[in-house]
Structure 1
Amino acid sequence: MSETRLRILFFAEGATLAHVARPALLTASLDPARFEATLARPASYAWVSDGGNADTRTLACQDSAVFAQRLARGLPLYDTATLERYVVDDLALIDAIEPDVVVGDFRLSLSVSARLRDVPYVTICDAYWSPERPLRAVLPVLPFTRFTPIPLARLLFDALSPLAMRLHTVPLERLRARHGLPTLGHDLRRCYTDADLRLFANFPALFPELVPRDDAAFLGPLAWSPPAPAAFDAAPTGKPLVYVSMGSSGDIGALSTIVAALEACGCDALVSTAGKPVPAALAASSARVFEFLPGDAACAQAQLVICNGGSPTTNQALGHGTPVLGVAVNMDQFLNMQAIEAFGAGLLVRGDRVSPALVARAVTRLLGEDGFARRARLLQTAHHEREGESLLADHLLRLVASRHARGARSQA
């Protein structure tokens, strides 16, 4: 352990922007007088951490397009060979940096590599994957659900999902066995969140069944925003302002459908394509379209946010007391939106059933019924009450102190 500063090594997996943005935010939050932080991230996301004070390293990651294809097809997100290569790269970085703590965001290989070097390991994750919470598996959008009646698709999914969930654990379970580590019980929740300390990047009020414990706690919502483009303007037009972003992993094709519904509802649409090409129908619409927008500012000014239902954008929206409409596709998005919908701060629409009429009905409810905005403001208030708390530093200090205390007892 450093004599003056704790040395923290962050691993930002390149599967999606969120898994890089959250570690970048946390790296920047640490006091450099107390912590020496290194951020390892893929070269393709170097722009996320540009301008930061932390030491940065290039991290080899599976191409995000491969990740997206596996996710869309319902396949395990990584194969064992990929995770084995990750372990080699992890160990090289750990040996070079000699950290007091490693912090990962969906870098599943750290379940092995951190243990091989006996370094305390923290994972940044979402509360809906917590093993202490029953996994209420919900039918995601899969190739066959687009043409199969949903009741029939749900029956098929319910019958096959236990086996499918187990198959998703096989690559990591094989990796752990190869390195002499015990099984995680083929529990997908444990495979996705295994660490010495799990820190949930969510609103605690959305998951009241989860009680903080020694190995799990809430950081609270984390949401990253790019700088504002020079032409950014969300000045009032007299119409309800709706911010629309499907994120880096969302379906860009859904934007045209959503904007058509907003035009029919008399709304002003402010759209971010997250760097993806603009569909022709969207370019011809009345929407104000940008490649990237500062989501934090857009959510603060909007009366409604429409997104893919994932935690990064919903965190931004609800942090400003703005209700959300989630057009969900993958399991993460459905699980996140289930919690938000149950709390009463938003509505969920299936990505394989999205239509202008369905979106218009949801938008009419969200803007017309005050309950959604009221519940969103409750989350905003709770979030602001916790803003003075340390997001990460205290957890890191306690983890290291606990490890040292256990070491001292074992030597006594």
Structure 2
Amino acid sequence: MTAVPRRGAVTVTGLGMITPAGVGREATWAGVLRGRSTAATDPELKGCPVDFSCRIPAMTPEQGRIGGGRAWRMGRFTQLAVLAAREAVADAGLAPASWDGARVAVVIGSGLAGAAHLETQTLRHHQGGPDLVSPSLVPMLIPNMAAGEVSADLGAHGPSLATETACASGATALAVARDLLLSGSCDIAVAGGAEAAVTPVVTTGFARMGALSGRADAPELASRPFAADRDGFVIAEGAAVLVLERTRDAAARGRRGYALLAGAGLTSDAHHPTAPAPGGEYAEAALRTALAQAGLSPADVDHVNAHGTSTPLNDSTEAALIARVLPHGPSVTAPKGVLGHSLGAAGAVEAALTALTIRDSRVAPVANLTADGLSGAGHAVDCVTGAVREQRVGAAVSHSFGFGGHNVVLVLTAP
């Protein structure tokens, strides 16, 4: 592989999260550390081939308040992005009222964006005609609107972009934001992913293609990354937004941050719409590129935050990648066991969790996985099971893989 020059690092100075484990960064982190699945029977999926999901807990009016009479025009994925961005910016100690908005970029990824609203409005049109269709359908639907509304909410006038790489969308947003910072296109980047597509039609579509677990009798046991008896993922919703700054700029204002986003590797399998390429050659290329950008060797990796969907083929392909490139056995976790699969938001959520792992020197266990059950991965990987593992993590990688053959690997290191 051609050598990749080191391009510099940026610092993660703020985190915001809304997930099925909790509303807010620390609530989500506490839930993930508990290692118990959030999956449950979902009344909105009654009658579907799979009727369970991972939903965000009810938010208080204060937590969910958009304000200014604006929420009515936003899709749920956009609302989640705005709320997560507000938490991240406040956590970074930044004040939008006083920053130079022209130097602030926003990059938000989503896989299915406003699919939920298209579904409900299509039904209304079918049942009652065009007069019942909301005039806000289009802004609720289009995938760039999360970035647009976050920009408006924060007064950010720099580049505003939406990434769409399926289940890698949130991770792609972070890689793009890093590029914007290192190119000098902005001084602050607010980046992440948001998804709210747990609907009857979308869920049925995933079920029909065989991607979802069918454990309706015990949904809390359904998401089991790397387990021998895994049978599919659990669909989920969520959002995570990170504030990124060039490391020297963060240091100049006294911010050490959670972690450095030291490298990013992006490749394409160019193989199949939904299946990973046999052998994982291009996922490996993404991993090696990210490490090269960070100035690290594979042996430097202490921890892997795996994509870990709980699907038979994806987990075995990923386990083989880890065993082949990182044979020294770094610890491995897979948050989808707790959170389910939030599709386009997952890569951002998992990058944020990786930053918290570095901050706290604690690796969360993989839900529903025991040491005896690891044989199903097909390769020897050191998955953390049962309880939190206390471990100092100097360098970690976070994997994200999406339909269409998108591979994104992020390298995060201790600040």
TM-score w.r.t. structure 1 length? 0.24
Larger Rg: 1
TM-score w.r.t. structure 2 length? 0.24
Structure having the higher helix fraction is 1
Structure having the higher strand fraction is 2
Higher relative contact order (CA 8 A, sep 6+): 2
